[in-house]
Amino acid sequence: MSIDLKGLDSLEMEHWAREHGFPAYRGRQIHSWLFRRLAASFDDMSDLPKSLRSFLAREATLNHLELVDSLYSEDGTRKYLFELVDGMTIESVLIPERDHWTLCVSSQVGCAMGCRFCLTGRQGFKRNLSPAEIVDQVIQVRRSMESPERLTNIVLMGMGEPLANYENVVRALRILVSETGMNFSHRKITLSTSGLVPEMIRLGKDITVNLAVSLNAADNETRNNLMPVNRRYPIEALLDACRAFPLPHRRMITFEYILIDGINDTKEDARRLLKHLSGLRAKVNLIPLNPHHGSPFSSPPLERILAFQEMLLDHHLTAIIRKSKGQDILAACGQLSGKHPATGA
C-alpha cells in the first residue's frame, strides 16, 4: 500500500528516504517541495532526479482535498467545503485580521462531543482526519490565496475535537511548525479543546502550541447540561490540568466562554468564573452564541454581555468580546456542518 507523503513529518520523511535507498537530504527536499513550495505533483519537484520522481510516482501518493464549494462573507471571511477521498466532507474557514489571515482547520469529520450549542456536534462522529488531511487544508487554502504569505495563524477550532484525534493532530502540528515543513511559529498556532484532561497533559509534554479551553459554564451542573464531556472531566479536574499545563514565558491559556441567554450569562456566573480562574495565567474570550437552525438557544442582550465583561475586567481578568466573523455564511464558531450546499447531505 502506497504512503501519502503529506502525512510524514521531517524526520519521518528522512527515514522513509533512507529506507528506500536514498540519502536523507532527499527526504528533506521532498518535504520542502510539499510544504514550503506547495508542489501539486511529483513532476513539480524539478531538482529531484527523474529516477527518484518516477520512484515516488510508483511507491507514494499525494492525495489532495477536492474543493467542492467556497462561500464569501460580507466581512471578508471565506468558508471552504472540501471533499475527502472517501467522499466525506469537511469545512475550513479563512478569517481576515488587521494585517494577516487566520485559518480555522478541522480535525475530524463530525464530532462525538455532543455540545448542545454546536451544529457540528449534531452531525455525529464519522471518522478522524489523517495528518495529511489536516495539513492539506492549509496547503489548499494557501494555494487559493493571492498573498499566501499573509496566512500566518492556524487555529484548530473547526469540525471535531482535536485531542480526540491525538496522534494524527500532533503529527500534523509537527509538520506545521517544522522549518522544512510549513514553518509556522508555534506562537501562531492554537489548539482548542472541550476538556479531554489526559490528552491535555500529554499535549503540554509533546509539543508547544497555544491552548484554548472551551469552558462555557462556571458550574458543573450547567456545564454537564451543555457539554457531556464535563461528566467525565468536571471543571475541577479540567482546571487542575490547566494549572499543570506548561506555559512559555508571557503565554496564557485562553478560556472560551460562549454566552447563552438565560443559561450562563448572569453576574453570579461571572463571579464563579473569576473564582475558578484565580491564580491562572488566563484570558477569556466571550463569544455571544452564534445562531443556527434548530438551536434551542439564543444570544443574550448586549447589555448583559457588557455587564458580564465588566465584572471580569473590574477584577483584572482580561476579557475580550469576540465578534464572530462569517455568521452570514455559517462559518462562525459552532456553525460548521461540512454539508454540500446543494444537497444538504
Cα–Cα distance between 61 and 305 in angstroms, integer? 50
Cell numbers 458550574 label which residue? Answer: 219
Q: Does residue 308 contact residue 271 with C-beta atoms inside 8 Å?
A: no
Comparing CA positions, the residue from 173, 152, 175, 153 lying closest to residue 162 is 173
DSSP letter string, 61-125: E----EEEEEEE-TTS-EEEEEE-TTS-EEEEEEEE-SSSEEEE--SEEE-SS--TT-TGGGG-E
CA atoms of 227 and 160, how far apart (whole Å) = 14
Question: Which residues are bridge partners to 78 per DSSP?
Answer: 72, 94
Strand order in the sheet with 101-104: 66-72, 78-83, 89-96, 101-104, 151-156, 189-193, 210-214, 253-259, 282-288, 319-321
Cell of 212: 484554548
**Which residues are known to be catalytic?**
91, 333
Burial class for 304, CB neighbours closer than 10 Å (0-12, 13-18, 19+): middle
